[in-house]
Amino acid sequence: MKMNNSKVDSLLTGGESGELTDKQKRIVEAAIEMFSEKGFAASSTSEIAKRAGVAEGTIFRHYKTKKELLLAIVTPVMGNLVAPFIVKDLEKVLEKDYEFYEEFLEAMVRNRQAFIQKHLSIVRILVQEIPFHEELRGQFIEHVAKDLYARFANIVSHFQEKDELVQMPPSSVVRLTISSILGFFLARYIFLPEHEWNEEEEIEMTIQFIMNGVKAR
């Protein structure tokens, strides 16, 4: 019987570790495994229970429904997908920790890559299930489309004022930047994860590519 008490980290507990019992952790881990392998709808609670080494009933003691289990897994990651960036980096940027957009981009991409890598399975679940669950779509739009977008636009404005970036609507710069990065992340981690990637080089190229498209001339 697994005694894993580190794989599911504080992310899922809302910050204070130790809130999840050992069995709860095993349930969450098993669910993450299955959801990301076969999708939410095709995963059965009975197999999750089996993989977690708990009784079927135990799952429902902790999560009223199967869907609640999904949300418990996916919601905190969705928040953190953008949260740290927003909080920390935004300040850093405005406090001139980053003198150039490229520097900021570099830091952000690497930071988000690390995050995605660490929570790969959950991010995969998130991407796969968003189209089918209103709640997820709602959260996603609020956090990403609004929050992140707005703050990111601020940052872009900041660098435009410093004449580093081309005078294009900030929203467009953001869109282009994000979709280039997202394009890479999706290809790298979701659609073609088995392909052999030269990550370092690809990232560098992607950033250069973006810079060529948005730097002031």
Partner DNA sequence: TATGAATGAGAGTTCATTCAT
Partner DNA sequence: TATGAATGAACTCTCATTCAT
By a kind-dependent CB cut-off of 5 to 8 A, residue 187 interacts, out of DNA, a second copy, none, with a second copy
Q: What is the phi/psi pair of residue 82, to 5°?
A: -120, -25
Interface map 30-69 toward a second copy (x if CB under 8 A):
--------xx-xx---------------------------
Site for a second copy in 103-142 (CB under 8 A): 124, 128, 130-132, 141
15 vs 131 by CB, closer to a second copy? 131
135 vs 164 by CB, closer to DNA? 135
Residue 187 DSSP label: I
By a kind-dependent CB cut-off of 5 to 8 A, residue 117 interacts, out of DNA, a second copy, none, with none
By a kind-dependent CB cut-off of 5 to 8 A, residue 22 interacts, out of a second copy, DNA, none, with DNA
**Distance between CA atoms of residues 95 and 125, nearest Å:** 35
Bridge partners, 164 (sequence order): none
Which residues are at the interface with DNA (CB under 7 A)? 21-24, 43-47, 54-62, 64-67
> Residues in the chain, how many?
217
**Distance between CA atoms of residues 116 and 81, nearest Å:** 8
Pure H helices in the chain: 22-38, 45-52, 56-62, 66-84, 90-94, 101-118, 120-129, 134-140, 149-161, 170-185, 199-214
Q: CA torsion 63→72→30→7, rounded to 10°?
A: -130
**46 burial type by CB count under 10 A (0-12 exposed, 13-18 middle, 19+ buried):** exposed
Structure tokens at 24: 């709860």
24 vs 177 by CB, closer to a second copy? 177
Q: Which of these ranges, 20-28, 98-106, 115-123, 181-189, lies near a second copy under the rule CB under 8 A?
A: 181-189
Chain centroid, CA 109 distance in Å: 12
By a kind-dependent CB cut-off of 5 to 8 A, residue 114 interacts, out of a second copy, DNA, none, with none
Does residue 21 touch a second copy according to CB under 8 A?
Answer: no
Judged by the rule CB under 8 A, the positions of this chain that interact with a second copy are 38-39, 41-42, 124, 128, 130-132, 141, 145, 168, 172, 175-176, 178-180, 182-184, 186-187, 190-192, 195, 202, 205-206, 208-210, 212-214
